[in-house]
Amino acid sequence: MSAEGKSVIVTGASSGIGAATAKRLAEAGAQVMLAARREDRLKELAKEIGPNASWRVTDVTNHNDMLSLGQAAMKHFGKVDVIVNNAGIMPLSPLANRRVEEWDRMIDVNIKGVLYGIDAVLSHMLERKEGHVINVSSVAGLMTNPTSAVYSGTKHAVKAISEGLRKETAGIIRVTTIYPGKVNTELGHSIKDPDVLAGIGDRFNYTGLEGEDIAEAVHFAIASPRNMVLNDIVIRPIEQVL
């Protein structure tokens, strides 16, 4: 099996895991719709990928944007086989530091963005009686550490949403949740809390994975035989303990 001929929406496609996933799937013969807020990055990536790529500036926290993204992909490709809900942010901080705006933003991007992505394609997939929803959570969605209470909460929510979707659509929609450990992406750039920044070197003092490593897992899940589904994929650097 392969991803050849599949039409795939990838959110958070302007960098990191999203960009690597889009390139990997296009190399495998898939058609990819790139979605993110940074138009310049999307144009550059689409040019690099070539004719198998299209793009649309999208804010995953805006429901209408996500509905328009789904409609654009269906119009452009004729169908949507897969959505990779990858967009996410990780502004870690202790709860006592009361960084409420960051909490709200994480809830909007990490939870609502996934829900809006599902909503953008689910009716279409149910009508076609096939489809694949891939949600990128985090190992923080399997446990919680100091400073990650809200981030972990959002990623636990992705786990719960994925499991609910799996049970509601069993036999029709394939649902995969991916739980990456440390990956060398721009995700850490969203951390602004001085207490966290002061100790981040000690906390993450091991070599991270690359976006391409997670992209391989996404491709593997998509390319698996139709009669099976990889529901949960946990990927950590070999040195990572938590």
Question: 130-145, pLDDT tens digit by residue?
Answer: 999 999 999 999 999 9
The angle formed by the CA atoms of residues 143, 188 and 31, to the nearest 5 degrees, is 90
User: Strand 232-235's sheet: what is its strand order?
Assistant: 53-57, 31-36, 7-11, 82-85, 131-136, 173-180, 232-235
pLDDT at position 206 is 80
Helix (H) or strand (E) holding 39: helix 39-49
**pTM, to two decimals:** 0.95
Phi/psi at 133 (nearest 5 deg)? Answer: -110, 120
Residue reference for tokens 């502004």: 91
Phi/psi at 149 (nearest 5 deg)? Answer: -55, -50
Query: Strand runs (DSSP E) across 49-172, as ranges?
Result: 53-57, 82-85, 131-136
Tokens representing 60? 């995953």
Q: For residue range 6-63, what is the model confidence (pLDDT) as tens digits? A: 999 999 999 999 999 999 999 999 999 999 999 999 999 999 999 999 999 999 999 9
pLDDT at position 146 is 93
151 is catalytic: yes
- Tell me how far apart the terminal alpha carbons of the chain are, to the nearest angstrom: 33
